[in-house]
Amino acid sequence: MALQNENHETGNKYVPYAKMTAWLVEWKNSPETRWLKATPSQPLQQSLKALERAYKNFFHKRTSFPRFKKRGQSDRFRYPQGVKLDQENSRISLPKLGWINYRNSCQVMGEVKNVTVSQSCGKWYVSIQTEYEVSEPVHPSTSMIGLDAGIAKLATLSDGTIFKPVNSFKSNQKKLAKLQRKMSKKVKFSNNWKKVKSKVQNPHSRIGNIRRDS
């Protein structure tokens, strides 16, 4: 991105992906950046494609000018191919990283097309995109019911059934605040401080997920 910005400051638009891949080959052979050889090639190439797409969107006035991301925030990388999935043993094989165990949240159906690995609140997640044919869905129910969503009441059905709000966001906020106060009273980086910090991750992660879903 630094080289792209220098190129833009001279009055040019952006360096295309093909040119950036040539830089990547040079960097892998350079003593200062030879550590890139240990990194899977596909995620590096995908990051260059994403950078080119970001500049294209800027020049087409679809988004703002690309900026550097802070390390540790929204860390993610993508594999477009070469991934192996073993659902029976809850493990996935990623190029250069090998077989990794994971907790399966749902059954993966179809042919794996690409995989995105992302980090949130100290935990890593694997998102798997697949392709498969599905028939036109037919709902088994033969009756209908009306639903009114609200604020004071989560939902009210036409038959009079009422669902109260869950308020999971507020409860997690209170729990997070309580743990943060407890952590502030501990000696920083002590064993007790580390124990409380590990507990902070859970409500912090839930709040982040709720915000993304809303």
Residues whose CB is less than 8 angstroms from the CB of residue 46 and which lie 6 or more positions away in sequence, other chains included: 77, 78, 79, 80
Task: Return the structure tokens found at 45.
Answer: 């190439």
* pLDDT tens, position by position, 35-52: 888 888 889 999 999 999
Domain assignments of the chain as residue spans, ordered by start: 2-59, 76-131, 173-213
- Least Cα distance to 66 among 78, 79, 48 occurs for 48
Place of tokens 């915000």: 211
Q: Residue written as tokens 């190129």? A: 7
Average pLDDT over residues 125-137: 89
The string of pLDDT tens digits covering residues 166-176 is 666 677 788 88
Q: What is the pLDDT of residue 69?
A: 80
Helix (H) / strand (E) element for 178: namely: helix 168-184
Closest CA to 168 of 124, 197, 196, 202: 202
For residues 120 and 104, the answer to whether their CB atoms sit within 8 Å is no
Averaged pLDDT, 50-70: 87
